[in-house]
């Protein structure tokens, strides 16, 4: 089903502040005016010592999130680590794009599972279904799409939103289900079947499951949609689980095949609560709805072939989590909600949160271990991704405050002044580290681009302020050497050996595409950088002022190509290696 949604106006950036019990005098960049402490009704509590499931990014999927083999780009898609896509069958006519076979190689390369929605073979809404063709549709599809031809196939979904799309003139939906389930099983004995794929109206679930149990056709995965509000999720799950218990059906995993309303998609603050609740209540997978255009990862991009909006960056934060999901508790349905993870080594706690009502809120973190806070001190970084509306591009998250703080009794309270349309992230790491746990030894290095194999230098070996920074073959000249100088809080200045000037951004811009230049050390934050480990001795070099990463124009591999800052899209021209001299 396609609907048109109207993007909300962009929200203004908000001030955030961090206060810890017995807080240290902070040398990081903090908000000018601390937020007022929030009362309990606006507090999200994080229990860092209560892990309950492994990080699998269950909420990062989408319905028709892939259009074809090229849209969206692999770089944009991989950055959110999509868990699962629901797509139409091969040759299906419900939509013009989103064919499961056309996108098979792409979905596999992204590490995502796929669900084959069989009813989307037919056009129309309701579907132009015919019993005279249905059995052949199923047989032909299963011959083409199975776990041998599509190894990442997760399930077949026989129908979609029967409460809206099933024509009673074709008989009962329950009889259709029994017939189709048995037909699939006569061909494929093992691939999971999921359903009934009701919309928000799950009032017929007990009737459906009663009939399915009586005919031995209970779905392997229970599926329905949450398209109104995240506040319905808990009640709907409890209702379905109560029906299972009443009927003596063993609990099934749950897939929410479509989630978020037309007015919520693309809005970071509106989507945080869905992520939090899907994790909290043990959902197997969940897919953002398809309301506007395929190939946009569920409206995380401004259009097919478009750029990330503010919500996209929320999902990149979610994708960067590792280890175990830990317990979070919102005070109420009207307060901020969020989801958190603790890395396997216990050295990074990541909390994404938002929603609720605008104003003074707080994140209360309990159960902080000595591994995370050696000596009772922890490093705290706060970031925000500002709502730009669904169809307006966002340059990415911004860092609002960062510094080291004391922990009291394993707890830390973080007051935050929030806008309900924005989303926020708090990252805790051991004190003295950068916000992502990466550290670089101060020293002199050549800085080589992974994509091109060329090193960072200064155009014409210039010693002038404002000279362009470029990539070049390593000729051993001093303009190819850079001193990395610690500036505290995991931040560094990068000084050219030849000129003595520091790496910065032209006009201290926060825009993607702004040129990288050398400049006199005037103490501005665009002269500060962090090194984010990407593994294998490779780093992303992130500008503190803009939050954008160092890259090469058009990902060029040519000598002389200029350096720029850009959104972290996961491409290899954003990766660098450092060789000590």
**What's the CATH code of the domain at 280?**
3.20.20.80
Is the same domain home to 178 and 213?
yes
Query: What does residue 401 show for φ and ψ, rounded to 5 degrees?
Result: -155, 155
Is the same domain home to 285 and 146?
yes
* Mean pLDDT, residues 147-161 taken together: 97
* Mean pLDDT, residues 194-214 taken together: 96
Higher pLDDT, 290 or 18: 290
Does the pLDDT at position 370 exceed 90?
Answer: yes
For 220, the token pair is 């392997």
Domain assignment present for residue 94? The answer is: yes
Is the same domain home to 460 and 540?
yes
For 379, the token pair is 């490093």
Condensed to tens digits (0 to 9), the pLDDT of residues 56-93 reads 999 999 999 999 999 999 889 998 999 999 999 999 99
CATH number for 422: 2.60.40.1180
Does the pLDDT at position 21 exceed 70?
Answer: no
For residue 247, what is the enclosing H or E element?
A: helix 233-247
Query: How many domains, in total, are found in the chain?
Result: 3
Domain region containing 483? 443-580
Domain assignment present for residue 23? The answer is: no
Give the pLDDT confidence score for residue 36 in this predicted structure. 38
Domain assignment present for residue 307? The answer is: yes
CATH number for 559: 2.80.10.50
pTM for the whole structure = 0.74
* Mean pLDDT, residues 463-469 taken together: 95
Q: What angle do CA 524, 527, 528 make, to 5 degrees?
A: 100
Is the same domain home to 129 and 188?
yes
Sign of torsion over alpha carbons 61, 67, 68, 72: negative
| Residue of 72, 127, 74, 126 lying closest to 97 (CA atoms) | 72
**Helix (H, G, I), strand (E, B), or coil: what is residue 497?**
coil
Domain assignment present for residue 24? The answer is: no
Is the same domain home to 288 and 305?
yes
Crossing angle of the two packed helices 233-247 and 205-214, in degrees rounded to 10: 30
Is the same domain home to 303 and 329?
no
Over the chain, what is the mean pLDDT? 89
| Residue of 150, 138, 158 lying closest to 109 (CA atoms) | 150
Is the same domain home to 426 and 547?
no
Is the same domain home to 374 and 305?
no
Domain assignment present for residue 547? The answer is: yes
- What is the 3 state secondary structure string of 1-70? CCCCCCCCCCCCCCCECCCCCCCCCCCCCCCCCCCCCCCHHHEEEEEEEEEEEECCCCCCEEECCCCCCC
Show Cβ contacts of residue 196 under 8 Å, excluding neighbours closer than 6 positions.
Answer: 159, 162, 173, 177, 205, 208, 219, 223, 224
Condensed to tens digits (0 to 9), the pLDDT of residues 217-255 reads 999 999 999 999 999 999 999 999 999 999 999 999 999
Higher pLDDT, 225 or 13: 225
Crossing angle of the two packed helices 173-187 and 131-144, in degrees rounded to 10: 30
**Low-confidence winner among 11-20, 143-152, 202-211, 222-231 (lowest mean pLDDT):** 11-20
Domain assignment present for residue 300? The answer is: yes
Domain assignment present for residue 194? The answer is: yes
| 3-state DSSP percent of the chain in helix, strand and coil, to 5 | 20, 30, 45
Is the same domain home to 403 and 532?
no
Q: Predicted confidence band at 518 (pLDDT cuts at 50, 70, 90)?
A: very high
Is the same domain home to 216 and 357?
no
Task: Give the domain-ending residue among 264, 298, 319.
Answer: 319
In whole angstroms, give the CA distance from residue 533 to residue 257. Answer: 34
Task: Give the domain-ending residue among 266, 287, 319.
Answer: 319
Task: Give the domain-ending residue among 291, 319, 347.
Answer: 319
Is the same domain home to 396 and 473?
no
């Amino acid at each position: 089903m396609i609907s048109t949604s109207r993007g909300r106006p962009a929200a203004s950036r908000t001030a955030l502040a961090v206060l810890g019990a017995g807080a240290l005098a902070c040398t990081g960049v903090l908000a000018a005016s601390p937020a007022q402490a929030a009362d309990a009704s606006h507090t999200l509590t994080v229990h860092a010592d209560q892990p309950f499931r492994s990080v699998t990014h269950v909420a990062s999927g989408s319905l028709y999130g892939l259009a074809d083999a090229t849209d969206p780009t692999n770089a944009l898609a991989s950055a959110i680590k999509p868990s699962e896509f629901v797509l139409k069958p091969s040759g299906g006519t419900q939509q013009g794009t989103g064919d499961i076979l056309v996108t098979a190689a792409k979905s596999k390369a992204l590490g995502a599972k796929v669900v084959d929605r069989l009813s989307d073979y037919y056009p129309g809404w309701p579907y132009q279904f015919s019993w005279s063709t249905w059995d052949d549709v199923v047989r032909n599809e299963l011959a083409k799409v199975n776990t041998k031809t599509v190894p990442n196939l997760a399930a077949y979904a026989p129908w979609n939103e029967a409460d809206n799309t099933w024509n009673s003139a074709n008989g009962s939906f329950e009889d259709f289900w029994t017939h189709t389930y048995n037909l699939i099983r006569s061909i494929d004995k093992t691939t999971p079947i999921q359903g009934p794929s009701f919309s928000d109206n799950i009032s017929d679930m007990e009737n459906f499951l009663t009939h399915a149990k009586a005919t031995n056709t209970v779905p392997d995965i229970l599926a329905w949609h949450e398209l109104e509000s995240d506040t319905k999720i808990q009640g709907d799950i409890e209702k379905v689980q109560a029906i299972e218990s009443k009927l003596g059906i063993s609990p099934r995993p749950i897939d929410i095949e479509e989630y978020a309303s037309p007015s919520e998609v693309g809005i970071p603050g509106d989507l945080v609560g869905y992520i939090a609740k899907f994790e909290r209540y043990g959902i197997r997978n969940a897919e953002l709805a398809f309301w506007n255009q395929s190939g946009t990862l569920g409206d995380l991009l401004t259009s097919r072939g478009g750029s990330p909006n503010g919500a996209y960056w929320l999902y990149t934060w979610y994708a960067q989590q590792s280890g175990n999901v830990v317990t979070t508790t919102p005070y109420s349905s009207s307060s901020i909600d969020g989801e958190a993870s603790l890395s396997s080594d216990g050295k990074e706690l990541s909390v994404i949160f938002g929603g609720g009502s605008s104003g003074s809120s707080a994140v209360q973190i309990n159960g902080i271990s000595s591994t995370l806070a050696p000596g009772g001190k922890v490093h705290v970084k706060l970031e925000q991704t500002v709502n730009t509306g669904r169809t307006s591009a966002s340059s990415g998250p911004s860092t609002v405050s960062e510094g080291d703080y004391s922990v009291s009794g394993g707890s830390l309270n973080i007051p935050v002044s929030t806008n309900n349309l924005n989303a926020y992230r708090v990252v805790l790491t051991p004190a003295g580290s950068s916000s992502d746990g990466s550290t670089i030894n101060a020293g002199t290095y050549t800085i080589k681009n992974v994509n091109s194999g060329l090193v960072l230098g200064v155009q014409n070996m210039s010693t002038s302020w404002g000279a362009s920074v470029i990539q070049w073959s390593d000729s051993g000249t001093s303009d190819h050497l850079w001193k990395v100088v610690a500036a505290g809080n995991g931040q560094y200045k990068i000084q050219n050996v030849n000129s003595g000037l520091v790496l910065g951004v032209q006009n201290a811009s926060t825009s993607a595409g702004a040129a990288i230049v050398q400049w006199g050390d005037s103490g501005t934050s665009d002269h500060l950088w962090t090194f984010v480990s990407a593994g294998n001795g490779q780093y992303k070099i992130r500008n503190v002022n803009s939050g954008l990463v160092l890259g090469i124009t058009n990902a060029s591999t040519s000598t002389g190509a200029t350096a720029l800052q850009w959104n972290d899209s996961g491409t290899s021209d954003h990766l660098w290696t450092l060789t000590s001299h």
